[in-house]
Amino acid sequence: MSIRRFFGRSANSLLKPLNLELVPIELDFDARLESPTHLRRMIDTLARDAHEWLRTQSIIESAREFDVRHEVESFFSDYLRSPFRKARGGSRFGNLLWLNLLAKAASPSLIVDSGTYTGASAWALARGASDAKIVSFDIDSSRIALRIPRVEYVEADGTTYDFSNFSTAPKMVYFDDHLDQGRRLFEASQRKIDLAIFDDDFSILTFASMAHGGDALPKISFILDESLSDGEAIVWSAGGRKYEWKVDIQKIEQLRSLIDRQARLPNIAASVGFYQLPYRLVKVAH
């Protein structure tokens, strides 16, 4: 038995009564293909799936055409050298690749990144949209692992920013801030933002782990769920506490009117063995 494993088991025996345990830090692609033929097949599969969705989608109007395979291959290479490969917390390879591809396809003049965390989303968005103004917001900027020179990092909520200079320019926002997605949708509409990308958009049947006590509700999936009835209570438990969120159907319908078109992005990283709930892309009605 290795020294690392011995100390890990010893520590876990002490932590077990607290329902805690140490787990090894695993990085995306710590185990990965090296044979050129099979690596090309992996890149080809990722590029084919992404290209098919971009080719058939109707949410990004006047989407820019580009060499998707080249973009996927170069992104994969850059991702391996990045500090964003950890498997816990933040977005993983597949979702970050989508941010890169969506930014490149949409070619917005302004990108708002709401929830900087380690800076992975800002990196991916900046990589895809080389000419865009990018502003990344978080109330705590101490965890940023890499700062991109042309990204403006703001230690505050995005609602504090003056968007008036971008009133007619195409705008995109990425929300990964664990707040009420209905509220964020409304704010995007008020600021004339064209495209909104939502992370952690869980359905009612699977959302509880990311409900944050109800502060992150409603999700976009809730707004789209036509089975909900007024006053209906959604009840869940977490951390030994019980929580409840009640449906306000009038508010839900108002928010639904702000969604022009929407789609759940495909999980293109499934072919390489990674899963993270795919983003929700919304064309926002103003």
In a domain, 20, yes or no: no
The answer as to whether 189 is a domain residue is yes
Q: Is residue 152 part of a domain?
A: yes
**Has residue 18 been placed in a domain?**
no
- Residue 242 forms part of a structural domain: yes
Question: Total structural domains in the chain?
Answer: 1
Is the predicted pLDDT of residue 145 greater than 80, yes or no? Answer: yes
Report pLDDT digits (tens) over 36-65. Answer: 999 999 999 999 999 999 999 999 988 999
- What pLDDT, on a 0 to 100 scale, did the predictor assign at position 144? 95
Q: Is 13 domain-assigned?
A: no
- pTM of the predicted protein model: 0.91
Residue 134 confidence (pLDDT)? 95
CATH code of the domain in which 86 resides: 3.40.50
Domain of residue 119 covers: 29-284
Question: Which DSSP string corresponds to the chain?
Answer: --HHHHHHHHHHHHHGGGT-------BTTSS---SHHHHHHHHHHHHHHHHHHHHH--SSTTPPP--HHHHHHHHHHHHHTSS--BSSSS--HHHHHHHHHHHHHH--SEEEEE--TTSHHHHHHHHH-TTSEEEEE-S--TT-S---TTEEEESS-GGGS--GGGSSS-EEEEE-SSS-HHHHHHHHHHTT--EEEESS---TTT-GGGSGGGTT-S-HHHHH-TT--TT-EEEEEETTEEEEEE--HHHHHHHHTTEEEEEEPP-GGGGGT---PPPEEEEEP-
Does 170 map to a domain? yes
196-242, pLDDT tens digit by residue?
999 999 998 887 777 888 888 999 999 999 999 999 999 998 888 89
Residue 15 lies in a domain: no
- Chain-wide mean pLDDT for the chain? 90
